Structure 1
Amino acid sequence: MKLIYQGKTKDVYSLADGNILLKFKDDVTGEDGVFDPGANQVGLQIEGAGQAGLRLTKYFFEILRDKGIPTHYIDANVENAEMIVKPATMFGNGLEVICRYRAVGSFLRRYGMYAKEGQSLDGFVEVTLKDDERNDPPISADGLDMLGILTLKEYEEMKQLTLTVSEVVKIELAKKGIELYDIKLEFGRIGEKGEVMLIDEISGGNMRAYKDGVYIEPLELEKLIVS
């Protein structure tokens, strides 16, 4: 296999059969040695973080596969912290799509004039550009279309997939008495027809989840869901 990209929390390799191997690392994002899933830099290493992230990702991707929801997932080896996926083309230099069920984080910072902390939201979907230099600015569907990043049709497909996937995750967490506040997803074009599909991962570092009003750390969330 050939290394094609080194990311903050995963390394990406191309395989001889044309598929892609993602190697999950124990590096996690944060600042000053404190874990923060929303940070744009690696802040520390947590032993077992790579395996934990993959274990939860495998769990959710296989549920989605059973439901016929399109993703890039093929297989995973948790012990080796490796996941094999279909090759995908990113939208521009990458997008992050957030589905929000509670007003927290950057949503509250932006819209605090109107929103109250923890206010219920009905699956609010927003898109940001993956751009560390500009702090991942939010962008509208029209902006994405005008800049040639994706079409309005692709945006609508991505939005509907976001709502579908997020609802699946929300329901699974609720089975354990856990409430999903928000989740960050990524999408790409896959196959000859460029079908819009879910890519990357679904781990504790990509969501805010609470139990009895208390925030659950990503590694603890994996234990609660998968064990």
Structure 2
Amino acid sequence: MNRRRRVFEGKGKIMYEGPEPGTLIQFFKDDAFSADSAATGIIDGKGVLNNRISEYVFGHLNTIGIPTHFIRRLNMREQLVREVEMIPLIISVRNVAAGSLARRLGLEEGTPLPRSIVEFFLNAEELGNPLVTEEHITAFGWATPPELDDIMALAIRINDFLTGLFLGAGIQLVDFKIECGRLYEGDMMRIILADEISPDSCRLADLSTHERLDRDASAANPGDLFRAYSEVARRLGIMNENEPARAAGPVLVK
């Protein structure tokens, strides 16, 4: 069997060369990490859950006309995606005060925001992914003003969809992070959604109890993260309702 060429490896995924030109294989890892990007260990089955949750979300986004890099799921841990030129920004969409926004502005965690807020961070982990303004982005050529307009429009549309999707499952979407890329098709270029959308990249909470259903659920016990991610999958209809979460890995609906 030929070894696949590794293109990139991040905290939660590995990107491999795809079977056809212009494609990549996105592999979801079991590595767990905290909100400050510190590694917290390996949680068996986490990659499987993130793969299926992200597949579910991206599939629905494709259906409603939001352009993404997702093509199809290959197996329990891998997706076939379009190769794009990644824009070096993390786009954060916030609905409720939490994390760095709450600390910067002196807001109480959990305070609803007057409206959804979109923030940009430079995707440079060695610098701590610093907050940047549109002026920084255009001055340094990370994206053009028209590209920023497209990114903002995508972010707001995605937020509208995700808010409703999770609300229907009894989950509050506190905030989420996405990444975008440039897809070249002949002489045309368009901005599309890339990377993933999963509990690794969203802050999620139960609407009634406010229990965390994202990566911060593992602060005290790594097993809590598996249960939280399993609960998200179960509520979205990805995982069998009558199947208990267990450390050996989830049972997923085919």
Q: What is the TM-score when the length of structure 2 is the normalising length?
A: 0.81
8 Å CA contact 2:26, 2:78 repeated in 1 = yes
Q: Who is 2:221 aligned against? A: none
Q: Distance in 1 between matches of 2:95 and 2:189?
A: 30
**What is the CA RMSD across the aligned residues, in angstroms?**
1.4
Q: 2:66 aligns with which of 48, 65, 69?
A: 69
Q: 2:93 aligns with which of 88, 96, 99?
A: 99
Q: Distance in 2 between matches of 1:176 and 1:89?
A: 34
1:13 aligns with 2:16: yes
Secondary structure of the residue aligned to 1:68 is: coil
Which structure 1 residue ranges, 4+ long, deviate > 4 Å from structure 2? none
**One-letter code of the match for 2:124?**
D
8 Å CA contact 2:95, 2:174 repeated in 1 = yes
Cα deviation for residue 78 of structure 1 reads: 4.2
Structure 1 residues 16-55: aligned runs within 5 Å: 16-18=19-21, 19-29=23-33, 36=34, 38-55=35-52
Q: Who is 1:86 aligned against? A: 82
**One-letter code of the match for 1:110?**
R
**One-letter code of the match for 1:12?**
M
Judge which range, 174-183 or 217-226, deviates more.
217-226
8 Å CA contact 2:18, 2:80 repeated in 1 = no
Q: Decide whether aligned partners of structure 1 residues 119 and 5 sit closer, same or farther in structure 2, where only a CA change above 3 A counts.
A: same
1:2 aligns with 2:5: yes
8 Å CA contact 1:128, 1:138 repeated in 2 = yes
Q: Who is 2:108 aligned against? A: 116
Q: Decide whether aligned partners of structure 1 residues 78 and 42 sit closer, same or farther in structure 2, where only a CA change above 3 A counts.
A: farther
**One-letter code of the match for 2:81?**
V
Cα deviation for residue 15 of structure 1 reads: 2.0
Q: Distance in 2 between matches of 1:118 and 1:7?
A: 29
More strand by share: 1
8 Å CA contact 1:102, 1:119 repeated in 2 = yes
**One-letter code of the match for 1:210?**
A
Answer with 1 or 2: which has the greater Rg: 2
Gaps of 5+ in 1: 30-35
Gaps of 5+ in 2: 215-227, 240-254
Q: Who is 1:149 aligned against? A: 142
Q: Percent of counterpart pairs with the same letter?
A: 28
**One-letter code of the match for 1:95?**
L
Q: Who is 1:32 aligned against? A: none
Q: What is the TM-score when the length of structure 1 is the normalising length?
A: 0.90
Q: Who is 1:166 aligned against? A: 159
8 Å CA contact 1:20, 1:84 repeated in 2 = yes
Secondary structure of the residue aligned to 2:71 is: strand
Cα deviation for residue 6 of structure 1 reads: 2.0
**One-letter code of the match for 1:66?**
T
Secondary structure of the residue aligned to 2:141 is: coil
Secondary structure of the residue aligned to 2:176 is: strand
**One-letter code of the match for 2:69?**
H
8 Å CA contact 1:204, 1:222 repeated in 2 = no
